[in-house]
Chain A
Amino acid sequence: MMTLPPVEVLRPSSVAEAVEALQKHPGSRVLAGGTDIVPNLKYGMYDTQHLVALRGLSKELRYVRLQNDLHLGALCTIDQLAHDETIRRCAPALAEACSQVAGPQLRRMGTLGGNLCLDTRCVYINQSYFWRNALGFCLKKDGTVCHVVAGGQRCVAAASNDTAPVLLALGATIKIVSPRGERELPLRDFYLADGIHNTVLRPDELLTGIRLPKDAFAKRQGFAKLRTRAAIDFPSLNMAVALEIEKGTVKSVSLAVGALAARPALIKGLDDLNGQKADARLAEELARRAHKQCKPLTNIGVDPDWRRDVLPVLVRRMVLRAAATAAAAS
């Protein structure tokens, strides 16, 4: 039995009240679906005194709106996105990724904002206090050493959110609100390569929604996830591709891979592939480049050598699948 530590729960009824509460109580944390933060609190991973519960904001932040671009509220549940007709039409890879998050109960509880802000995961941190204490703790909490990278000074706990690679590949933008106002940020600038706190979100900021630009709807999209069981498990690898194809030729391509280290990786240097034919050789080339740039670590309890070997296979299959689909309707 694991009990939650004593905390105070604040229940704002608007975004403005929520960010005010975050500002007023330094060190407070946001509670939305609770599927990530509650187990982590039970593990003693945070010294939080205050939780800002967003249940009162669900009417305000649970929208799926198609106005030129696609606008999604941060409190849309993962299950809602997996089944939403507009998303299946405009961003089928997002619907696909959502349908593969965890299990059905967790998808009903977990939210899009929560998934994007999911804390990084590692076999050495997602353990009970007793377990971590016995090992002498680690960089991410209470300790000074990394058990994954010998001598490592930066936490490499893995970004394990399935929506992040898709939204990265599709060029999504996020909306952030703080007491100072609102700002928009490309999702590619949101994540940091530091597993202790892997986003640029400041303590008094709240991610309130995402915007998917309309040019993404016409792209061929794909998502793939590797996990031990077909349900419940966090990814051992996940990836997404967005291909812009005109008359059988690539106009642009972006490929993102997650569950490696703290930041979901956008594969670099793909511009020279523009103009190539969208065929099996393109899939092979993308697989080769992803294999070169992605180095799975022992932060996930699944053999990193095997994950590295299987990564190009999954990329190749995903790209071929995506290239074969019809472009999503706008």
Chain B
Amino acid sequence: MPGKSATIRLHVNGEEHTLAVPVQRTLLEALRYDLGLTGSKQGCDKGDCGACTVLADGEAILSCITLAADAQDRKITTIEGLASPAGLDPVQRAFADCGALQCGFCQPGMMLSARALLNTCAHPSLAQIKDALSGNLCRCTGYTKIYEAVQVAAGMRGPASRQPVASERAPASDSVAHAVKEIVP
């Protein structure tokens, strides 16, 4: 049974989109498959893992269990909309500087949850950071650097200096962030 379709209007990353979708289309499916915004990840697809986290009016929600039609009256921000023409969002820069990723799959959700936290609390405690990110699973279990990155993004500390192993010439953290900035349109 193909089911009914509906015309919906989504406000995503500052742009209006009008879409014809099945009424049961989730916001995540609309973002990924109708708008091509594949930065929001399809992890568990049942609201457990947080990989699909997007911001709705600045609030972190799970797009895999939200109907696209229910997001019509809200301003949606995905990871693609976090950077501005002026450059990376401080959260993105800090995650790059701190190397706060391993496989990277959870990062879009992590960064949006971090952004939502910093929007409401400029200088969060470590406990507040842990709580705000507790709905985002990292299966590489690299939480230490992620928490550090949020503190860096809040301007509460600099990236921890890590001594590179003698044999490897790691680029300075500044140039890593610089390189990331360059590939962002």
Contact = CB atoms under 8 A, between A and B. Distances in A.
Contact of B59 (A1, A8, A38, A108): A108
Interface residues of B, number: 33
Interface stretch (A99-107, A116-124, A176-184, A197-205): A99-107
Q: List the 4 closest A-B pairs by CB distance, nearest first.
A: A6-B3, A103-B135, A231-B134, A39-B46
A106 B22 contact: no
Contact of A55 (B4, B24, B65, B70): B70
A2 interface: yes
B26 A232 contact: no
Given A6-B2, A7-B23, A53-B67, A109 B61 contact: yes
B65 A39 contact: yes
| Chain B interface SS verdict (over half) | loop
Contacts of B4: 6, 8
Nearest to A2: B45
A105 B113 contact: yes
A329 to B, nearest CB: 26
A38 B61 CA distance: 14
Contact-size category for A = 20 to 34
B72 to A, nearest CB: 10
A9 B24 contact: yes
20 contacts: A1-B42, A1-B45, A2-B46, A4-B24, A6-B22, A7-B23, A9-B69, A34-B66, A35-B47, A53-B70, A103-B50, A103-B135, A103-B136, A104-B60, A104-B131, A104-B134, A105-B61, A105-B113, A109-B61, A232-B134
Contact of B137 (A1, A39, A232): A232
B23 A106 contact: no
Given A3-B29, A8-B23, A104-B60, A38 B65 contact: yes
A289 interface: no
Nearest to A53: B70
B1 A106 contact: no
Contacts of B48: 232
Interface in A226-242: 230-232
A105 B50 contact: yes
A232 B135 contact: yes
Interface string B64-107: 01110110000000000000000000000000000000000000
Interface string B107-138: 00000010000000000000000011011110
B62 interface: yes
Contact of A6 (B24, B45, B62, B67): B24
A106 B24 contact: no
Contacts of A106: 47, 62, 135
A118 to B, nearest CB: 13
Contacts of B151: none
Interface in A11-40: 31, 34-35, 38-39
A143 interface: no
